[in-house]
Amino acid sequence: MLRPPVSFATARLAGRKPRLDDGPALFNSYASDPEVTRYLAWRAYERLEPLNAFLRECVANWEKGSGHLPWLLCLKGTDTPIGSIGVTIEGDKAVFGYALARKFWGHGFTAEALKYLVDWSLAQPSLYRAWAFCDVENPASARVMEKAGMTREGILRRWHVAPNLGSEPRDCLVYARVK
């Protein structure tokens, strides 16, 4: 089974697997911000305990080496998360998702992390497709995927429920890089 690295570094960022004690830092950084979660599959956390439960799941996934594997993104030289990026590997494909604290938007951080991980994915002999999707109304995320070298493939109609926007599945843009 392919095991992604537990940590990585880019020019400005350090990515590391989450720890059980990261809850308060994540809560304060972005996980309680409804502007950040607007197009995501989850609602902003209002209490710490459910976020801690999610972290326990993440830690368990890293122990098993399967399921959704998130890295917390920290500015290099610090240990405080400013966002996260995660991968799920399904056979020969890797699918990514990401979110960043609002005050760090617009500096290219997410594209920097995604590009590193897309490069890593396609350097693995068993992976042929690195892909991600975003809501059709989330152009910042679409731009992140473009900057990471992915190509827009089309629209996945009625693909994803964003509970902050309603209960019906919404159209999404799909991007990928392949080899």
Q: Does 36 bind ligand COA (CB under 6 A)?
A: yes
Provide DSSP, 134-159.
EETT-HHHHHHHHHTT-EEEEEEEEE
| Alpha-carbon dihedral 93, 163, 74, 130, rounded to 10 degrees | 10
> Residues binding ligand COA: what is the number (CB under 6 A)?
21
**CB-hemisphere CA count at 13 Å for 42?**
13
Distance from chain centroid for Cα 159: 17
Q: In whole angstroms, what is the distance from residue 37 CA to residue 97 CA? A: 12
CB atoms within 10 A of CB 3: 10
Among 65, 108, 163, 169, binds ligand COA (CB under 6 A): 108
Kindly tell me which of 27 and 98 has the beta carbon lying closer to ligand COA.
98
Shortest Å, Cβ 171 to ligand COA: 13
Rule CB under 6 A: choose which of 74, 144, 162, 176 binds ligand COA: 144
The amino acid occupying position 40 is L
Is residue 130 involved in binding ligand COA (CB under 6 A)? no
User: Which of 25, 95, 99, 174 contacts ligand COA by CB under 6 A?
Assistant: 99
| 143 sits near ligand COA (criterion: CB under 6 A) | yes
Question: Smallest distance, Å, CB 159 to ligand COA?
Answer: 11
The site for ligand COA (CB under 6 A) is made up of 36, 39-40, 98-100, 105-111, 134, 138-141, 143-144, 147
